[in-house]
Structure formats: structure tokens, C-alpha cells
Amino acid sequence: MKVKPNYYPSLLLLFFILFTACNTTTEQSAPSLAVEILEKAHTEFKEKSITHRRFKHADLQPLIEKHSDQFKITSLGTSIEGRSISSLDWGKGETKVMLWSQMHGNESTATMALFDIFNFLEGDSDEYQELRTILRERLTLKFIPMINPDGAEEFKRRNALDIDLNRDAISQISPEAIILKEARDNFEPEFGFNLHDQQTYYNAEGTAKQATISVLAPAYNEATDINEVRKRAMQTIVGMNKVLQQIVPGHVGKYNDAFEPRAFGDNIQKWGTSTILIESGGYPNDPEKQFIRQLNFMIILEALHQIAIESYTQYSVDEYFSIPDNDLQLVDLLIHEAQVRVGEKLYPMDLGIRRRQSTSGSTYYSSSSIDDLGDLQVYFGLEELDASNMLITEGKVYPEVFESLSDLDQDRAMDLLREGFLAVKVENNSEGELHGLPILVLSSSDTFSWGWKTGSVPNFFLSKGNQLKFAVVNGYLIDLENPKEQEFKQRIY
């Protein structure tokens, strides 16, 4: 970055530091944007036409067009299947910042936040105008939302060549990778934001808390050295983390910084752009990631503000390294010490169950499996059950056939479960249709698979004496005595 003259907002910053240094009652030591202001701004400027994660390229085009007055829109080229990839430029400042999202087609959280930010930046004459003016005067922003529109079309990671774009920074086999690299080379940004989603099973190391946001200042060489370029990225991340800790304390993880020679983040860092990776993970009861979208909006604005007023400079590399590491030790359901009968003997087993999501139209269904069993004390469950003294018990298919799904409801399904039936058969609905019942629904099949070994589908009861206590249906835990409210994302088999 070039050296800048010392002008008004830097003075403002200085006063702020002096003020907070003298005022021992305040905990805030850096000029962060107030969390309440950021939250309010998101509520006001959220792009309301995007309501879930599985939007497509066609959904975004009218939204890009909507911003053509205040943003400079440039067509950068097209994907393998001919979908346009555009950049949106805003601001007239000296410091250039580039933000790109969704190079993995099923990682759409930050794309939603970028469209919220476009709305925010277009606002006028309101309480945020001072912030907007600082950003406009100090920064030139280049946004490239949805780098992989073909992957997004199918909500899958890779592009239409089945290439992982994040391993194509050097070989440049894919047009999408060429577009991203050319954009960086032509623009030569001082800062870059590489926006992704990660599995929801990442936790902050040593804790049961989901890594709702994970961060990384990628390495630019094998030795993972820290130069000025990488240091700036680390400092900016520290400021972002300070905002996150106020909203989702403990829910931030830091990625391992092993150098990946083919990845964009690592190479863009190497090419001289201070690069910040943001990975959106999971948060309880946020399957469509609308809360995490808001977090993205907030921390990106915070980071842009820091870059604009250069307040990131007061954070240290040590503070960056004190962010907990990411770990991958979460499961959806952890059952402790269920008894498994093999021959005449009983064995106590911890069972680790994950419910993976498969896309169906604009929504998804869950397909569960037992990922590990035995002594699982190193795992954390998003939901846990102490099943010591409970026996894993096989369920049955209800012998009478229902005409259709509409003959069933939540209460009827619960009654059937209590009678020992884990599955029902329907005549007029077909395999693959989605439903939200707490029981298995069969159409083309007469039986269901189940088991307790790795890879098995967790469909069974947990019983105590002769009493059925819990049902586990496609990995969903159902308390038969005191069922709680929960959403079942199921399909007919």
C-alpha cells in the first residue's frame, strides 16, 4: 500500500485512541463499528428477494442490473456453460479491495451478504452516510459475486468441468479461474476477500461450539512466513474477530495455514494482495444461513472500514494466532453408551451421527449415517443423549398401507412410533418426494435399512426394559415421551 497523507479521519482515529486510552471504563480499545449499528444496517438493507441458499445465476442478474446506476458493471467473461460473470465497482479511493464469492457453487452465504452490501452502499442521506463517505473516498471496491455459476446451478462444489476452481489458480484450465486471475492482475488490489462456506461440522478447537465463521490469512509460501502483505490480512482479521466475539462468542475458528500451491487464496497472497479467507460454517437453527449471512455483512463492512481508516494497524499478529484453531469434531447427534446386543453379549457404544444435506429444488433433504462408534469422547454433538442402560432395538414397518401422505400427520406418526413402527408405506406418493414427518415413509420399497455400524443408516429405537424411550429416524432423535419441536427434512424411499 502507498503511504497516505495524514488527513481528517486519521485525526479522528487518533482522538478516538486518546479518548479510549484515557477512559478506563470502556472495554473497546479500537475504533470498531458498533455492533448494533451494523445489525440495524443489515435489517434495513438486506436484499429481500434472496431468502434461501439455493438461488441461481438467473436470480442474480436483475439484482446486478438494479445497481447499474451507482456501480460500474463489467462483464468479465462467461462460464463453461455460458453464464456471465460480472464485476461491480464502487468508490473512488486510493486503496483497492477486491471481493469474490462462491467459487464453490454450493457456498452461497457470502454472495447473499454482498447483495446486501450493494444495497447498503447505494443508500443515501441516512445515519450511515458518514461511513459510506469514508468508504467511497478511501476505497475502490471490486465485487465479483458467484465466480462459479455453473456449480451454483446444481448447488455443487465444482464447476461444469468437475474442476475445483480453488485448485486451478496456477494451471488456469477453467475459464472461471482465468476470469478471477485476470481480474486480480488488472486491478492489483491491496486487499482481497476470498468468500467461502465450510462444512457445518467444524468447531472451535476443544469446544462444542460450531465454527460459525472461520478465518485465514493464507500462507504465501511453504515456510508460512509472515511478510507485510500477509500481516495486514492477519491484522484485519483480528478486528473482524472482535466484532464476531460480541455477537457469537466462541464461534470463530482459524484455519490451518499449510500452503496449498494451487489455491487462489494462497497465490493471491503471494501475488501481493493481502488476502482474507472467510468461511461460513453452521449455527444452531440456521439451516438457510440467514443469520450467518448477516454476520458476513457485518464483518465485511467492519473490515472495509478498518482498511479505509487503517485502524487494522494497531492489531498484532499474536492476536491473530490466539484465535482458536478450527477442528472437525462435531456430529449432529452423539449418543453415549447405547447398548448393542451381539450374540448373548451387550457392548456399550458411543454413536456419532451426521445428517448430510442433499439438494432437491430450492430445498434439501437429510441422509444420515453413523460416522463413527466406540469411544467417541473426542467428538462433540450438536445434540447429545446419554443412552447408558438403553438398548438399540429394531423397528418395524406398519402392516397397513396408507393411501397417501395426507392421511398422516405428526400426531399419527408419533403414535405409530410409540407402538414400535419406524416406517409406514404409502400408495399414491412416489419415491423421492419430500415430507416433514418424524417417521420413515416408503413407497417403492417394503423395507428400510438400519444398523449401528459405520455407514449404517441410523433407524432404530432405544429401549429401557420393555419400554421404547427414543426413536432415531434417519438420524433425527425423537423423545417418545416428551417430543420437542423440530423440523424433519425427509424424503420418501
Residue span binding Zn ion (CB under 5 A) among the ranges 81-89, 100-108, 135-143, 205-213 = 100-108
Least spacing, CB of residue 106 vs Zn ion, in Å: 9
Residue span binding Zn ion (CB under 5 A) among the ranges 84-92, 196-204, 396-404, 452-460 = 196-204
By CB atoms closer than 10 A (0-12, 13-18, 19+), residue 441 is buried
Please give the C-alpha separations between residue 424 and each of 234, 282, 493, in angstroms, as whole numbers. 54, 32, 10
- Measured from the CB atom, is 107 or 190 closer to Zn ion? 107
Q: Does 53 bind Zn ion (CB under 5 A)?
A: no
Least spacing, CB of residue 473 vs Zn ion, in Å: 31
Residue with grid cell 459475486, as numbered in its chain: 145
Which residues are bridge partners to 142 per DSSP? Answer: 89, 98
Least spacing, CB of residue 157 vs Zn ion, in Å: 7
Least spacing, CB of residue 192 vs Zn ion, in Å: 15
Residue span binding Zn ion (CB under 5 A) among the ranges 17-25, 118-126, 190-198, 391-399 = 190-198
- Measured from the CB atom, is 107 or 302 closer to Zn ion? 107
C-beta neighbour count of 161 within 10 angstroms: 15
Please count the CA atoms within 13 angstroms of the CA of 347 that sit on its side-chain side. Answer: 12
Q: Does 196 bind Zn ion (CB under 5 A)?
A: yes
- Measured from the CB atom, is 168 or 350 closer to Zn ion? 168
- Measured from the CB atom, is 165 or 229 closer to Zn ion? 165
Residues 6+ apart with CB under 8 A from 318: none
Fill in the DSSP letter of residue 242. Answer: H
Please count the CA atoms within 13 angstroms of the CA of 76 that sit on its side-chain side. Answer: 28
Q: Does 158 bind Zn ion (CB under 5 A)?
A: no
- Measured from the CB atom, is 53 or 104 closer to Zn ion? 104
φ, ψ for residue 252, nearest 5 deg: -125, 135
Do 164 and 158 form a contact (C-beta atoms < 8 A)?
yes
Residue type, 284: P
Residue span binding Zn ion (CB under 5 A) among the ranges 40-48, 193-201, 246-254, 461-469 = 193-201
Nearest alpha carbon to residue 470 among 375, 392, 398:
392
Least spacing, CB of residue 190 vs Zn ion, in Å: 23
Binding mask 103-132 for Zn ion (x = CB under 5 A): -x--x-------------------------
| Chain residues in the site for Zn ion (CB under 5 A) | 104, 107, 196
